[in-house]
Amino acid sequence: MGTVTETDIHNAIQAVWRIESARIVAGIARIVRDIGVAEDLAQDALVAALEQWPTSGMPQNPGAWLMAAAKHRAIDRHRREKLLERKHEEIGREVSAKEMVVPNLDAAIDDNIGDDVLRLIFTACHPVLSSEARIALTLRMLGGLTTDEIARAFLVPEPTIAQRIVRAKRALAEAGVPFEVPRGAELAARLSSVLEVIYLIFNEGYSATAGDDWMRPALCEDALRLGRILANLASQESEVHGLVALMEFQASRSRARMGPSGEPILLLEQNRALWDQLLIRRGFAAIQRAEKLSDVPGPYELQAAIAGCHARARIPEETDWVRMVALYDALVELTPSPIVELNRAVAVMMAFGPAPALELVDALATEPSLKGYHLLPSVRGDLLKRLGRLDEAQAEFERAASLTGNSRERQLLLERAAARGQD
C-alpha cells in the first residue's frame, strides 16, 4: 500500500466537507440563529481539521468530528458573548429557555438533523434575497462549494460571488428571517422559491448559458442531490417529487448530449442506448409519488411528464408527440409563458407538422421577453428548413448563433446555417 500523503488527507477532508457541511451548518444555525455565524463556526472546524488531521490521522467518523468541533466553538462563542453582556454570576439567573444553555447544547444539536437541513434550505432560498443571491448562498451552504467553484461554474468573478454571499447573509440577518420551515400559505410560497433555485442550478449545468462548455455536470449533480434531499425532508409535497422526476429524466440523457470533443448533440439525434436507465426508473418512481399526492398536477409534475414521454421512447419515432402537446396545453394554462409556448410549438411541429408550428412561433416574434432569446430564431430556423425555405432558415440559424453566449452552441448553430438543407 502507498503512503497516505498530506495532499491525500486534504482531498479527503474536502470530500467529507462537501457531504457534511450542510448538516453541520444547519445544526449550528438552529442554535445560534444566524446562518453567517453558523458558517463561520463550521469553517473554523474545517480549518481545525486541515491543521490536525494530517498529523493525527482521519477520525473514524469525520462528520461527527467536524460537528463536535463546530459545537465547541459555538459554546466558546456563547460564553464570550455572555461574559461581555453581564457578569458571570448573573448568567444562571437570567438565561431563558429560548437562549442557548451550554449543558443542553449536545441534545439541541444532535436532534432533528433532517429538520435542520430543511430549515437551512428554506432560509437560504428566502424571497428577501435576489435570485442570484439565493443560488450562490444555496450552493455555498447546501452544495458545499467554495466561492471559487461557484464563480467558475457561472463564469462570474470570484469577488462578485463572495459579495453576493456576504450581502445575502447580511440581508437575512437584517430582515430577522427566522431559521425555520414556514407553515400554511407561506410554505407554498417559499417552496416555489426553493424549487426555482434548485432548478435554476440544474439548468445552468444542463445547458450552460455562456462559456466554452455545453454542460457543467457538477452543477446538475449538486442540484439533483439537493432535490433528493428535499424530497426526503418534504415528502408530502407533490411538486418536490415532480421536480426530482424532471431532473432525473433530464440527467439521464447527459452522456448522450455531447460528442467526443464536447460538441452538443440535439435530442432527436442522440444515441438513446446511452441514456441512463437507472435515472429514468428513478424519474418514473418520483413522478408516481407526485401523482399519488395530488389530483391536479403542478408545473414541475407536468414538465416531468413531458420529459417522461421522451424517456419512454426507444427511438424518436416512438415518442407520443400528441400526448406531449396535450401536456403542454395544460402547462400553458397553469403557468402561461412565452418559453413554454415556444416549447409547445416544437411538440406541435413533431405531432402535426411544421406549418401550424410556424404560425405559433411567428405569433411569438413580438414578445419582448424573447427578444434576445436565441432559441426563438433557432426553432424558427428548424421549421423553415423543414418547409424548404432554406435561405430564410440559414438567416435564422445565424441570428440564433449571434445571440447565444455559449461557444459550443454557437458553433452548432453556425454549422446548421452553413449546412442548409444538407443535414
Q: What is the DSSP letter of 155?
A: T
Domain that holds residue 210: 112-179+190-228
In a domain, 418, yes or no: no
For residues 123 and 223, membership in a common domain is answered with: yes
Count of residues making up the chain: 423
Q: What is the pLDDT of residue 383?
A: 96
**Is residue 388 in a domain?**
no
pLDDT on residue 84: 60
Q: Are 242 and 198 in a shared domain?
A: no
54 lies in the same domain as 139: no
Look at residue 366 and tell me if it is in a domain: no
Nine cell digits for residue 156: 462570474
What DSSP line would sit under 234-272, residue for residue? TTT-HHHHHHHHHHHHHHTTGGGSB-TTS-B--GGGS-G
pLDDT digits (tens, 9 = 90+) for 347-376: 999 999 999 999 999 999 999 989 889 999
Of residues 222 and 393, the one with the higher pLDDT is: 393
In whole angstroms, give the CA distance from residue 361 to residue 376: 8
The answer to whether 231 touches 286, Cβ cutoff 8 Å, is yes
> Domain of 203: which CATH number?
1.10.10.10
Q: Are residues 242 and 213 in the same domain?
A: no
Instruction: Compute the 3-state secondary structure of the chain and give helix, strand, coil in percent, each to the nearest 5.
Output: 75, 0, 25
Q: Are residues 117 and 13 in the same domain?
A: no
pLDDT band at 195 (very low <50, low <70, confident <90, very high): very high
β-strands 210-211, 405-406 pairing: parallel
- Asked if the structure places residue 157 within a domain, the reply is yes
Instruction: Tell whether 241 and 217 lie within a shared domain.
Output: no
Residue 139 domain-assigned (yes or no): yes
Q: Which residue has the cell 445552468?
A: 204
Q: Which range has the worst mean pLDDT, 81-90, 293-302, 392-401?
A: 81-90
- Comparing CA positions, the residue from 218, 55, 71, 64 lying closest to residue 146 is 218
Q: What is the pLDDT of residue 153?
A: 75
Q: Which residues contact 420 (CB under 8 A, 6 or more apart)?
A: 385, 390, 393, 394
Predicted confidence band of residue 3 (pLDDT cuts 50, 70, 90): low
Percent of the chain at pLDDT > 90 equals 46
**Chain-wide mean pLDDT for the chain?**
86
Describe the crossing of helices 375-386 and 338-352 by its angle, rounded to 10 degrees.
20
Residue 392 lies inside a defined structural domain of this protein = no
Please identify, among 310, 325, 356, the residue that sits at the C-terminal boundary of a domain.
310
Q: How far is CA 195 from CA 204, 224, 240, 291, 387, in A?
A: 14, 11, 7, 18, 39
Q: Are 169 and 25 in contact (CB under 8 A)?
A: no
Q: Are residues 167 and 197 in the same domain?
A: yes
Q: What three-state secondary structure class fits 405?
A: strand
* Side-chain-side CA neighbours of residue 47 (13 Å): 7
- CATH code for position 45: 1.10.1740
Residues 123 and 69 in one domain: no
Share of the chain above pLDDT 70, in %: 88
For 153-187, write each residue's pLDDT tens digit.
777 899 999 999 999 999 999 998 888 888 877 88
pLDDT grade, residue 99 (50/70/90)? Answer: very low
Q: Are residues 116 and 215 in the same domain?
A: yes
Whether 72 shows a pLDDT value over 90: the answer reads: no
Q: Which residues pair with 406 in a beta bridge?
A: 211
In a domain, 60, yes or no: yes
Residues 209 and 246 in one domain: no
120 and 71 belong to one structural domain: no
The tally of domains found in the chain comes to 3
Q: How many CA atoms lie within 13 A of 379 on its CB side?
A: 27
Q: Which residues contact 202 (CB under 8 A, 6 or more apart)?
A: 219, 220, 223, 224, 227, 247, 250
Does residue 40 sit within a domain? Answer: yes
291, 310, 329 - which closes a domain = 310
Q: Looking at the predicted structure, is the pLDDT value of residue 214 above 80?
A: no
Residues 201 and 292 in one domain: no
